[in-house]
Structures are given as structure tokens and as C-alpha cells.
Structure 1
Amino acid sequence: MKKQNVLNLIKYHVERNESAFRNESINIARHFDSIGDYQLAEYIMSLISESNLYTPQSSDFESKFLKQLDTRGMEPLNLPVEISDDIKGIINAVNHNIGINKFLFEGLPGSGKTEAAKHVARLLDRTLFYVDFDNLIDSKLGQTNKNITSVFNEINTIPHSNKVVILFDEIDVIALDRINSNDVREMGRVTSTILRELDRLTDLNKEIVIIATTNLYSSFDKALTRRFDAVINFNRYSKEDLIEVAEHYFSSFIKNFKGISKDSRLFKKILKATENLPYPGELKNIIKTSLAFSDVNFEHDYLRRLYNNLIGNLEQTDITQLYVQGFTVREIEKLKGESKSAVSRKLNKEEDQDE
């Protein structure tokens, strides 16, 4: 600590500038933490907390690496029961306050990992900060490693830690398996730093919650995996789960479109006829664009687009194939844009040819 720090504290106190006073106090605590005087650093942070100089929700909180995510007004999560139970388990574990506070969400893109992290913060009534990897990762050799140390210093000195969740979204960008990395030496240094910082994370902030997500769990460093108290697998959607999610999105979106006829039954039939339904993130976009791009002069055009996106080219699919897929004459009429009599004639003609 320098003389200037003391002068700044006096100046900010006289000016009644609580924000600047708080930031200066945090910088002083970080200094003591960096030289190994963890007890004094923790004492300074506790004084700041008790004096209400810091609230995580305040808009004047500034950090180079931590950015706040808004969790207000979120839509309900549509997760399979098994995953929902695990999310409830996380809430219970944190509320037990026994130091189980680091969680890894793994799964395919669009499986709901990031949204689930937001809901965990909301259900715990905590402010959610995410690590900004754009600022964290540096092209200069060794700078990324230093930045990782800096971001953990920021995390370790956040007051009111029982009111904060830190999200490392897609942490695999800095934590892939050291053996499989193209730059083994540099990646090894980065991963080793993360391991060390996670090990000492609870020294100053025993109540802070860390959530990391990864799309590449098979390539994830196994030593890092062991640093997390629990790994939640988001690849547990059955086809029925995905259909339920799709129906929720469909009902939410279609009410905003005028002149479009809602046909929930045909919508669901298309989903059932799809061999491999995509995960919620992609499914949501497909449903939204099918509705948004539809022709206002063709009330069922969104269903045709949905079929094209999920199953195949409807123009190249003959009526008999659609019938075999389980669509009725009336439903084929909607998809093909042909009259019922025309559809029936084509079906009868195909039957006569088979005989």
C-alpha cells in the first residue's frame, strides 16, 4: 500500500464519495491479498460489507473482467425432470452453506446451460456476473495467465459474496485438455493457474457460487473437472421433452403474428415425424424463423417451412410419402397448398398403380 492510497481514502471520505472510497478500499484489500496477508484483506472486506459501502446490484460496480447479467423477467425453464431436479439440488446445496459451491454444466450447444445458470442466480436471489473472455484472453504470451490471476483476485475480493454468482460461460476456451492442445506449454500454464485459483477460491469467499459451462466436456481437462463439486449433464432430453419445449415456444410466438392460423395438432405431428429433433436453442430459432418468414397470404406457410427445416424438402416429397409419415389428407392439403380433392386423386392414383 502506498501513501497515495491513504490520501485517496481521506479525500474520498471528505468528499462523501462512497463509490470511490469503496473502490479504493477494495484495491487496498487486493494489495494485502496479493502479498499473502489474507487475514487483513478479509478483515477490510468485512468492514466494507458491514458499512454497506457495496451492494452487488449497484450500477457503479466496475470490473475489467466481470460483467453483470440481467436475470429479471426471465421465461420459465423447460428442462427435463432429471435436470430440473439437479438444479433444485444446487439450490439446496448452496443454502446448506457447507462449502459446496462450484458447479460445471456440460452439454451440447442449445441445451439450456447458460439459461439454467441465470435461473440459479435468480432463485438464490443473487447478482449474476459473467467472466468476459474477450478481455481475458490476450494474444501476448503469458498475458492470459496474468489476466486469469487478476479475475480471480477480483472474485476473491467481492464483498457480499453470499449475494453473487460468477459464470464462466464456455470455459473450455481456456480449459481444454492440456494434452490435446496445440500449444501444450501455454495451455498447461493457463490450466494450472485456474486449478490453483479454484483451490484457493474459498479462502476469502466461502459463500460465493461458481458456475462454469462447457460444450466440449470430452476434451475438458480432467484435473479441472475434479475441482467442481458437481457436474450436471444437460444432454438428457427425450424426444417427448423436446416436443414439449417446442410446443411452449410455439404457443409463445404465434400469438404475436396476425393472420396465421394456429394448428397445434399438425405442428406436433411434424415434430413427431422428425427423426432427430435439435436441442432447445436451435429448436427455438427454427420455430421463430418459420413463423417470421412465412407468407402472410398463406396461413399455413409456417408449417411448410417448419417441415423443410426439420424433415426435408417438401417440394420433393410426394403425397404418398407424407401419407406414410402419418399425415392426413387434410394435413397434406395444408402442407402442400393443394385442394383436398387433388390430394385424394393423387393418393388414389398411387394406390391404383400399386395394384
Structure 2
Amino acid sequence: MKKMDVVNLIQHHVNRDDLAFRAEAYNIAKDFDRSGDSDLAGYVLSLLSSVGTFSPQSYEPHTEFLSKVPEAKGHLPLPNAISGDIKGIVNAVARRRGVNKFLFQGAPGTGKTESVKQIARVLDRVVYAVNFSAIVDSRLGQTGKNITTLFREIDRFPDSDDYIILFDEIDALILDRADANDLREMGRATSVFLKEFDNLRDDMLIIATTNLYEGFDKAIIRRFDHVVDFNQYTNEALMEIAESVLDETLKRFGVEKRDIRLFRKILSLEEQLPNPGELSNMIRTCVAFSNPEEETDYLRRLYYAVTEDHSPNVLKLNSQGFTLREIEALTGIPKSTASRELKG
């Protein structure tokens, strides 16, 4: 237990801030438990429970610049190069050695924010994201004041084991704006941010994301313990992700027809598959919009989405390497008719 914990406890009591008082007391109990004094930890917790229940999982911090992020939904397929880094972050946090600030950089739709949610799921934590639109203010000096308030809010979070603070698209705050009238103000704000970031409590897991990494100064980058590059998707990795998304979506919509060979051939028409976010949206939309009475309608829609051709003819499909069976699935033209057309 640190001296500041006692000071904070007394201050919360004087301010009659019951929620903050109980959160601080819970933190102190956790410190006792970690240091081996489980009896004293249990006694503190019993005192708290005797005057009403308190659960850190149900604790909702009152914040002006932070908002709770919805939990992850389903599995997130990632290439080995990225998933290895994600596992490493989980291992580093579990060891409690002060390696707790990470930057996820990559193009939009590469899974940066979703990966934060998956880390939270594995670690059983709640994610709170910084609301940059509320922080940036046109009034002179107000943005810097808001940043200071933000970090005080983070300092007041109870137990760090229960939370992740997400600076999603952090470039919105720390990169200078193109507007000349805004440069000086944003320069001050960036300086305030870096100062507060340096003094941030060292037990809170911090993850920031950006798709403008090339514009970052080295002084910013070195403040993070590790940078994860999400621009590491090969076409084959994207194809595997597409199959995973397809299986999940077909199951959700009760579609039994799964022609993975035709599915892959359609996607292979793309020289470079889109990033996972766009790819997933495209597949889910094709399945959702498909006619439930036609088992292969989602494959036709996928072909349309990939090629932007809504009326492919038999000759074109044949030249693209589709078999008679696949041409029938994509056009509704019987194999015998398609065969005669090709011979004619």
C-alpha cells in the first residue's frame, strides 16, 4: 500500500465521495492480498460488504472524456505475425513488469480496435475509450485543460486489473492540424498530452491506435513499450479470414449451402483482397441480402461485389475459370444450356 492511497482515501471521505472511497478501499485490499496479507484484505472487503455490496466489475467510473466500449463479439481471426504480438501483450500484462503501453498501427479495417476488445475478453477487463471530439476545444487553452482532466480521470480508476484505456485514433490529438490558426493551440495540447502521458500511473494498461503512423515523431513512438504493425496481411491470410467469416455468417443466417471452392475462386478474382474490416462487411452483407430460397444467391452477390458485373455471361465466366456447375450456380443457366452456348 502506498502513502498516496491513504491520502486519497481520506480525501474521498472528506469530499463525501462514497463511490471513489469504496473503490480506493478495494484497491488497498487488493494490495494487501498481493503482499501476502490475505486476512487483512478479507477484513477490509468484509467491512465494505457490511455497508453495501461493491463489485469492481459493476463499477461505472464517472468520466467526462471516457466512454465504455462494447464487448467483443465472436472470434477475431488474425495472421500469425499479428496474433503473436497480441499473445505477447497478454503475457507481458500478466507478468506485471510495467510493460503496459502499446501502439497499434495500420490501415483502417485491419482489426486494431477489435483486437483491443479481444485482449479485454482474454484478460476479463472493461475497455474505456477516450472521446477526442469532446477533448479538442476551439477555445484557447481549453484543449490542454481537458487533457489534464482526462488523465486525472484515469488516475481515479479503481483497480487497474479491471480496465484498459483505449486511445483510439490517437492521431486526432497528437498530430498537428493543417489549419494554420489551429497549429499553435494543438502544439500546446500535444505538449500537455506528452507530459501527462509520461506521468501516467504505471499499472494501467494503455493501448492507442492510429492509421497515420508515418506522421508520428520519434518522441511520441518511444513513449510506447511496443508498436504492433497491423499491415501484415497476405492474400492467403485474408482468404482464411474470409472463410472464417463466411462460416460464422452462414451459421448465423441458417444457410446450409457452403461451396468453399467456388467462394475462393470468386475472391481470387481480386488481385488484392481488401482489409479484414471491408472484407467481412462484404461477405456478411452478401449473405444477409441473399434470397433464403436460393442456396447459391449469396455467391452470386459476392461475384457482383467483387467484379461489379451484375450480368456476367457464360463466355466470360468460362474465361475466368469457372466450371459448368459453377456457372449454373452464378447465373441460374442450366449446365446443358451453358455447354451448348460454349460449343456454339
Q: For this structure pair, what is the TM-score category when the shorter chain's length is used for normalisation?
A: 0.7 to 0.9
Answer yes or no: is 1:337 the counterpart of 2:332.
yes
| 2:129/2:165 contact within 8 Å kept | yes
Distance 1:194 1:235, change over 3 A: same
What amino acid does structure 2 have at the position aligned with 1:216?
L
Q: How far 1:124 sits from its partner (Å)?
A: 2.4
Q: In the TM superposition, what are the counterparts of 1:65-214 in structure 2 within 5 Å?
A: 65-71=65-71, 74-176=73-175, 178=176, 182=180, 183-201=182-200, 205-214=201-210
What amino acid does structure 2 have at the position aligned with 1:126?
R
Number of the residue aligned with 1:322:
317
What amino acid does structure 2 have at the position aligned with 1:122?
R
Q: In the TM superposition, what are the counterparts of 1:184-333 in structure 2 within 5 Å?
A: 184-201=183-200, 205-257=201-253, 261-315=257-311, 317-333=312-328
Distance 1:259 1:150, change over 3 A: closer
What amino acid does structure 1 have at the position aligned with 2:98?
G
Distance 1:300 1:179, change over 3 A: closer
The CA distance in 2 between the partners of 1:11 and 1:151, in whole Å, is 20
Q: How far 1:303 sits from its partner (Å)?
A: 1.0
SS of aligned partner of 1:57: helix
Q: How far 1:274 sits from its partner (Å)?
A: 1.9
| 2:57/2:162 contact within 8 Å kept | no
Q: How far 1:265 sits from its partner (Å)?
A: 2.1
What amino acid does structure 2 have at the position aligned with 1:187?
M
Please list every run of 5 or more consecutive structure 1 residues that lacks an aligned counterpart in the other structure: 13-19, 27-42, 350-355
Q: In the TM superposition, what are the counterparts of 1:30-49 in structure 2 within 5 Å?
A: 47=28
The CA distance in 2 between the partners of 1:92 and 1:6, in whole Å, is 35
Q: How far 1:297 sits from its partner (Å)?
A: 4.5
Answer yes or no: is 1:23 the counterpart of 2:20.
yes
| 1:260/1:296 contact within 8 Å kept | no
Q: What is the number of equivalent residue pairs in this alignment?
A: 316
The CA distance in 2 between the partners of 1:232 and 1:196, in whole Å, is 23
The CA distance in 1 between the partners of 2:204 and 2:339, in whole Å, is 65
| 2:12/2:20 contact within 8 Å kept | no
SS of aligned partner of 1:255: helix
Distance 1:7 1:216, change over 3 A: closer
The CA distance in 1 between the partners of 2:156 and 2:15, in whole Å, is 23
| 1:65/1:151 contact within 8 Å kept | yes
User: What TM-score does the superposition give when structure 1 sets the normalisation length?
Assistant: 0.80
Q: How far 1:304 sits from its partner (Å)?
A: 1.4
Q: What's the CA shift string for 1:296-343, capped at 9, x where partnerless?
A: 44332211111111223141x433332232211110111122111221
| 1:148/1:193 contact within 8 Å kept | yes
What amino acid does structure 2 have at the position aligned with 1:200?
N
Q: How far 1:259 sits from its partner (Å)?
A: 6.5
Distance 1:260 1:55, change over 3 A: closer
The CA distance in 2 between the partners of 1:11 and 1:81, in whole Å, is 50
Number of the residue aligned with 1:16:
none
Q: How many percent of aligned residue pairs carry the same amino acid?
A: 46
Q: How far 1:127 sits from its partner (Å)?
A: 2.6
